[in-house]
Amino acid sequence: MTEKNTKGQHPVVKDIRINIRNYQELFSDCSDIKMRQMLLGKEMKVRCMIAYIETSVGNMMLEKSALGQTLNRLCEIPSESVLACVEENSMGISDAAPMDTIEEAGDGMLSGDAILFVDGYNKALKIPDKGYPGKMVSDTESEKVIRGSNEGFTESVKMNTALIRKRIRSPKVKVKEKKVGVRSKTNVDLVYIEDLADPDLLKNIEDRLERFEIDGILDSGMVEQLTESSWYSPFPQFQTTLRPDRAAMSILEGRIVLLADNSPAALILPTDYNSFIQTSDDYYNRWEIASFTRLLRYAASFLAMVLPGLYLAVTNFHTQILPTSLLLSFASARQGVPFPGIVEILLMELAFELLREAGVRLPGAMGNTIGIVGGLIIGQAAVDANIVSAMVVIVVAFTALCSFAIPNEEFATAFRLLKFAFIFLCAFLGFYGFLLGLLLVLIHLSHLESFGIPYMTPFVSPGQGSKGERDSLIRPPAWVLNRRPVYASPGERVRLRRKDRNQKESES
């Protein structure tokens, strides 16, 4: 082995035999890594070695392969010209990069590229090729929209950045790459527009990525949990999306999108309550229907949290607020039921959560079947057996519909958890428990922040520059939304100008 440098790494030297020995020791007992030795030049005098992962590099002799074209060219030129050709990259290989150490060359190979060592050249050349196998672009399985693109992110971070650039074709779109994970060395990309994103926000995110050291990052969800400030909160401080158009829309607002390799879920930050209620097709449809559906989602998020608890508070403590006929219907429905109301609600809620979990884990068609048929059978059987009343089944089913209407799954999970807290508060304290729970949630939301942005923006003022934040409960007409949200840099808030108005002002 050659002597190590100051960083404890082995430099690439001109003697290829030493490089081969060091590389083989670095990747000993790795049967999936191929190391092929060849002779280059017309006279076959220059020795080289190609190292690659078996499934990540295609047929090297194929005409379309960058590696194949490189080797074919090096075999055709005189032997004395091979070294000069490699040093000057006279073949113009795109993204070919020289590596100074054996360890850097190994990292380049593990990213899915091929490594070329040439005798007499004191650097290893990383040559891009097919890369790791992965799923191609397909439709999104969640975040369905009525109007708009159906493309979804893939497991490849390079493909995901390309899907964003496809939608924002500007040189100001920057992609800053980080390596996260001591052993996994996962590529994490921060995508933003240079003049729109707040530099302090970008530095804050980079600092948080440097705060922890972990063996490996396998999904963006691990990054989310390690970098969020209020870990105890059920509400997510990162917005996740599987849609490139949603990510591109957020970047145009001045936000930053975090992409992790091997994960189709992008993280959008900062975020707020209002952003979780919005969907992509809110901006593709007319403002009237977009506003109506958004109000429905706001109501659904509230009812998904409080409806079972309100039912218990009314039926156990405050029956006087119900009409007599409705109260008699409730009483007749509960005849023969041996359990108190809280036990009924908990039984049905837990049964529904089990059905939801079983539906997620089972294969597609079977999961849908168990969710629908299982819910109908269990609900009807429980009513017939007088275990629960029919009204409880209606309340639980309506609560489930409300939770499904929330566009973001992680955001909906917060209301599913808080629902059980409201059940216990209302079962023992009645309407006072409902008000106490609501007060606690509002206090928590008012203190919650996402990278310095209040969670209840735009309902609370985030500070200077909050003027013009109009996109909240109602989605105004497109021509009214002429200012970016508070995430953008203060000098770049205007995003829409009417040309006819500007022309009239210049003429006058």
With bands split at pLDDT 50, 70 and 90, how would you rate the model's confidence at 365? low
CA 84/CA 219 separation, integer angstroms: 43
CA 304/CA 472 separation, integer angstroms: 20
Residue 107: CB partners within 8 Å, gap ≥ 6? 185
CA 231/CA 159 separation, integer angstroms: 31
Confidence (pLDDT) at 93: 57
Residue 185 and residue 107 in contact, taking contact as beta carbons nearer than 8 Å:
yes
245-259, 337-351, 486-500, range with the lowest pLDDT: 486-500
Domain ranges of the chain: 16-127, 157-271, 287-454
Closest by CA to 202, choosing from 504, 420, 498, 489, is: 489
User: In 10 A of CB 102, how many CB atoms?
Assistant: 26
Q: Using the structure block, give the residue that is written with the tokens 């209620």.
A: 277
Q: Is the pLDDT confidence value at 188 over 80?
A: yes
3-state DSSP call for residue 76?
Answer: helix
Chain segment 55-104, per-residue pLDDT in tens:
766 554 444 566 777 777 788 888 778 888 887 764 555 567 888 899 99
Chain segment 231-265, per-residue pLDDT in tens:
889 999 999 999 999 999 999 999 999 999 989 99
CA 394/CA 141 separation, integer angstroms: 28
Chain segment 440-450, per-residue pLDDT in tens:
999 999 999 99
The alpha carbon of 494 is separated from its chain's Cα centroid by a whole number of angstroms, namely 27
For residue 118, the cross-strand partners are 48
Give the predicted TM-score (pTM) of the model. Answer: 0.82
